[in-house]
Amino acid sequence: MRRTLTLLLVLGVMTTASPPIAGATARLNTATDDSAMAAHANPPVGTSIVTVTGTPVVGATLTGANGTWSGTEPITYTYQWSRCPPVDPNCTNIPVATNLAYTVVPADIGFHMVLEVLATNIAGSTRAFSVETDIVVEAPPFDDTSGNIHSDAIEEIRAAGITLGCNPPENTEFCPNGNVTRAEMAAFLNRLMDLPAPDRDYFTDDTGSIFENDINRVAAAGITKGCNPPANDNFCLEGNVTRGQMAAFMSRMLGLPTADRDYFTDDVGSIFQDDINRFATAGITQGCNPPANDNFCTDSLVRRDEMATFLSRALAILSG
């Protein structure tokens, strides 16, 4: 059934008459009006197929389209992505994949992807399914990381679903020399830790950002407090992250133990000194001036390739 272009299931609307109740005339009239409207309404009917565009490789974004529908307005739509085995007719819903756009993750490898659209109006609901995609495969190496000393770490965090790339929707590049923004840092940390859903919206300057959910999850976990104290109602998502700030983010996130000694000479007096030493004790950093490695370069901006190595080492700690 999932292999057909469109599947339509129309659900009827049932009403039950009730005797008049004193003081409830307005409510009964409303119910009667709704029933009358439903009786004369037309349920949603798909008039063109649900479509999915995009390449089914890990890190790429698949984008669905409702198709066109007839029926009594207003019509509302909800979405559900599913993984479908190549030879098994039973597909499995992906719980968090309920938007028109879906980013392919490593767990999708070996499956077809299908988008279900549920159209609903006062007369009922109708389901339609897209044609299944080709089988999801692992993405080839990024085009711009060959020869980079961090390339193995970059591919490791890509396989773990921590990075998707830097040129959506293709995501064929990693931009290794780019600086890590605060929004990107939030996404990296959320994907690394799979943080729980936030209890509220924390900041005013990230509305509409693709990273808003990541930022709120990081805030709910206590990893960030904002960027404009004492109000701290902004996150400054486009700001670049320094190495000192990065050490603080990751030290809080991982709950790193107290440092066994002072590792570097250039962080004395820094508000991040304790985080940096915890970071070094955990083996996530070795310094920034080999072979001496007695500096951390606290105020230098973090590049994306360096961040990949830090995240790779954090993965080892979490899996160990």
Q: Spell out the per-residue pLDDT of the chain, length 320, in tens.
A: 444 333 333 333 333 333 433 333 333 343 445 566 667 899 999 999 999 999 898 878 899 999 999 999 999 999 999 999 998 889 999 998 999 999 888 899 999 999 999 999 999 999 999 999 999 998 888 999 999 999 999 999 988 889 989 998 778 899 999 999 999 999 999 999 989 989 899 999 999 999 999 999 999 999 998 999 999 999 999 999 999 999 999 999 999 999 989 999 999 999 999 999 999 999 999 999 999 999 999 999 999 999 999 999 999 999 87
116 and 129 Cβ atoms separated by less than 8 Å: yes
Helix residue ranges per DSSP H, 14-170: 25-40, 151-159
178 and 303 Cβ atoms separated by less than 8 Å: yes
Residue 117 CA neighbour count, 13 Å, CB half = 28
Give the Cα separation of 149 and 111 in Å (integer): 33
CATH of domain 25-129: 2.60.40.2700
pTM listed for this prediction: 0.68
Residue 168 CA neighbour count, 13 Å, CB half = 13
3-class SS at 63? strand
DSSP string, 194-258: TPPPPSS---SS-TT-TTHHHHHHHHHTTS---SSTTT-----TTSBPBHHHHHHHHHHHHTPPP
Q: What is the pLDDT of residue 35?
A: 65
Q: Is cis: bond before 176, omega within 30 of 0?
A: no
Give CATH 2.60.40.2700 domain extents, the chain. 25-129
**Which phi and psi angles does 194 have, rounded to 5°?**
50, 60
**Which phi and psi angles does 153 have, rounded to 5°?**
-65, -40
Determine the distance from the C-alpha atom of residue 178 to the mean position of all C-alpha atoms in its chain, rounded to a whole number.
21
305 and 154 Cβ atoms separated by less than 8 Å: yes
**Distances 10 to 2, 17, 45, 128 between C-alpha atoms, Å:** 17, 23, 8, 11
For the chain, the maximum distance between any two Cα atoms, rounded to a whole number of angstroms, is 88
Give the Cα separation of 135 and 140 in Å (integer): 15
Give the Cα separation of 229 and 121 in Å (integer): 47
Tokens of 299: 């105020």
Helix axes 182-193, 243-254, angle to 10 degrees: 20
Q: What is the pLDDT of residue 101?
A: 92
Q: Is cis: bond before 43, omega within 30 of 0?
A: no
Q: Which of 189, 239, 251, 240 is nearest to 216 (CA)?
A: 189
60 and 139 Cβ atoms separated by less than 8 Å: yes
Give the Cα separation of 208 and 214 in Å (integer): 12
Q: What is the pLDDT of residue 33?
A: 56
**Which phi and psi angles does 39 have, rounded to 5°?**
-65, -30
